[in-house]
Structure 1
């Protein structure tokens, strides 16, 4: 096994939280885009023509794809750093919620082919899963800050 210097190990502690805060902001932007897609779908006439120009559906799909990849990779990375630095994972609510979030985002993304075919049940499920995901993500951000505070007090 490769032995990392203490300063590298310490610095790795901050990569996951920073990445997740950026991802939370990106997720809020994706939610905004999703609401714009819904507005476009429900609009009529000139308003609909104007909203279509925003290409919100394409942006939402692209941002969502990036979020999926970064969240899964970030979750694995967070666990890897914890294991590297401690020789074990701490099975606590932060880890369990993070694993649940990974399953939620994968499930939400898996609904895309059904939504593209116009399945309203898939659209509603996608929206519900993503609202739950945003709620968990906000809670994760708070508990993540608490974990960082513990790491800093031990340093």
Structure 2
């Protein structure tokens, strides 16, 4: 019995990471939207506040953010594994390094949640800053990722 990975699996597995990352990028933008809404609730008053609270934006933001964290870690590791399986090495370049940096940033951002729940403004502002940088890097990663996918398709 051979333990080798079938060639068709190796070829098509290369598209799992990019597809997941595009879904993740959309989820990240949705988490941003929910975060902005949750922030509006915090500063709203009166009837506007009562109406916004019904949206449970803080709970949704936390849940979608947790999903984004999990998928980012799994997607980053998966992308590296598939690259290694198909090429016998990782290509250390801007795309890989930025992706690893993003994975670290989202972990730090999520780790600030307990401090934010206790009202620490420094944690809230750090969380916002890290996530704005993360969204910017994610947009850049999307462009460089498409270039990588184009190279893969060109070799098929």
User: What's the TM-score, normalizing by structure 1?
Assistant: 0.99
Equivalent in the alignment of 1:143: 144
Q: Matched residues in 2 for 1:2 and 1:121: separation? A: 51
Q: Deviations over 1:55-92 (max 9, x none)?
A: 00000000000000010010000000000000000001
Where do 5+ consecutive residues of structure 1 fail to align?
none
Equivalent in the alignment of 2:94: 93
RMSD, aligned α-carbons: 0.8
What is the number of residues matched between the two proteins? 155
- Which contiguous aligned blocks of 4+ residues in structure 1 show a shift greater than 3 angstroms? none
* Pair 1:115 & 2:122 matched: no
* Pair 1:124 & 2:135 matched: no
The 5 A counterparts of 1:4-153 are 4-153=5-154
Q: Deviations over 1:42-65 (max 9, x none)?
A: 100000000000000000000000
Q: Deviations over 1:72-124 (max 9, x none)?
A: 01000000000000000000100000000000000000000000000011000
Q: Matched residues in 2 for 1:98 and 1:79: separation? A: 10
User: What's the TM-score, normalizing by structure 2?
Assistant: 0.98
